[in-house]
Structure 1
Amino acid sequence: MTVKEENKRKEDFYRKTKILGVVGCVDCTHISIQCPKTEAKYLYKNNIGIYSINALIICDANLVVRYVDAIHPGENEDSFVWEIIAANEYFKSMYDSGKRHFWLIGDLGF
């Protein structure tokens, strides 16, 4: 994200929510799939017993999808998916480099 893009996203969120520094919202959703043809098909069964992929999505204030990671089997919790994706590393590196007021909004699953 360029500085200009970051500032635009923050402005859009602030106009809609009055929360400073937010650049996106994050959540996971389960996408139903057919039973995989693999020995590890049990990994794809989610907590309600259907086969799925747990897709993590980040969107901006205008509901434009800015990031998708849809490769994790349905049994994985949202917090686990967040811990192993590239977006998490990106946000950690921004924080470690001194960047503040640069937030994602997520639910308790994160």
Structure 2
Amino acid sequence: MEIRGFPDIIGCIDCTHIAIVAPKAEDLEMPGVIFYCRKQYYSLNVQIVCNAKLQILNINARFPGSVHDSAIWQASLVRRHLANEFSENRQQMTYLLGDSGYPLEPWLLTPIANPAINNEREYNRRHKLIRNVIERTNGVLKQRFRSCLKHRTLHYPSERAAKIIYSAAILHNLCIENGNNENVDEDVDVAERNVLRQGRNMRNRIVGNYC
């Protein structure tokens, strides 16, 4: 599959936090503190790979919220599979796109940190446009199954919460296959719309008056 000049792309990858109740602190193997994420709530850090149709190709909901995206990727079976494919056939160009939180690898392309020429800037522009699909996928999944939204919180132990997330991903794919989208990705909270609008107004004021 080719998208915006990127040949043989499989899809895009990113992690998203899904809130859970605070686990028991006395659990020696998985103490509650490791589920406390940088966004200051308890969560599972869920790795998702999706395609251009917003279908979830792979999902991993096993890791606590404090684990970094790149660490989840390093332990991923998807990474192992793509690395093996590359070692067996170095001419094969299948790969994923990920943000700058991931390491650059032949099977995982990331943005160029400091683009110096137009071609590099164009690469980054297209990379960002394509990668938007994973953010939309995460948003649609959470709007479709609102128990996955931050303010809803999954009130279950982490193992059961992970199973609920996997089930939601399967049902999400079935909805897409059956054409049941109904603009679910556009159904955002009114307050969030207002904050976004106000943010744009403030940014435009700075650009107009000070830049």
Matches within 5 A, 1:71-86: 71-86=62-77
Q: Which has the larger radius of gyration?
A: 2
- Tell me which of 73, 96, 103 is aligned to 1:104: 96
Structure (1/2) with the larger strand percentage: 1
**Where do 5+ consecutive residues of structure 1 fail to align?**
1-9
**Number of aligned residues:** 97
The yes-or-no answer on 1:20 pairing with 2:7 is yes
Instruction: Please tell me the residue identity of whatever aligns with 2:93.
Output: H
The Cα offsets for residues 61-105 of structure 1, whole Å up to 9 and x where unpaired, read as: 111101000010000000000000111111111111114210100
The alignment partner of 1:82 has SS state of helix
**Where do 5+ consecutive residues of structure 2 fail to align?**
103-211
- Tell me which of 39, 42, 45 is aligned to 2:36: 45
Instruction: Please tell me the residue identity of whatever aligns with 1:25.
Output: C
2:78 maps to which residue? Answer: 87
Structure (1/2) with the larger helix percentage: 2
Identity %: 29
The yes-or-no answer on 1:64 pairing with 2:45 is no
Shift of 1:38: 4.0
TM-score by length of 1: 0.83
TM-score by length of 2: 0.44
Moved over 4 A (4+): none
2:202 maps to which residue? Answer: none
Structure 1 vs Structure 2 CA RMSD: 1.1
The yes-or-no answer on 1:55 pairing with 2:46 is yes
Instruction: Please tell me the residue identity of whatever aligns with 2:58.
Output: Y
1:36 maps to which residue? Answer: 23
Work out which structure has the larger RCO, using CA pairs closer than 8 Å and 6 or more positions apart in sequence: 1
The alignment partner of 1:17 has SS state of coil
The Cα offsets for residues 18-38 of structure 1, whole Å up to 9 and x where unpaired, read as: 211211100000000000124
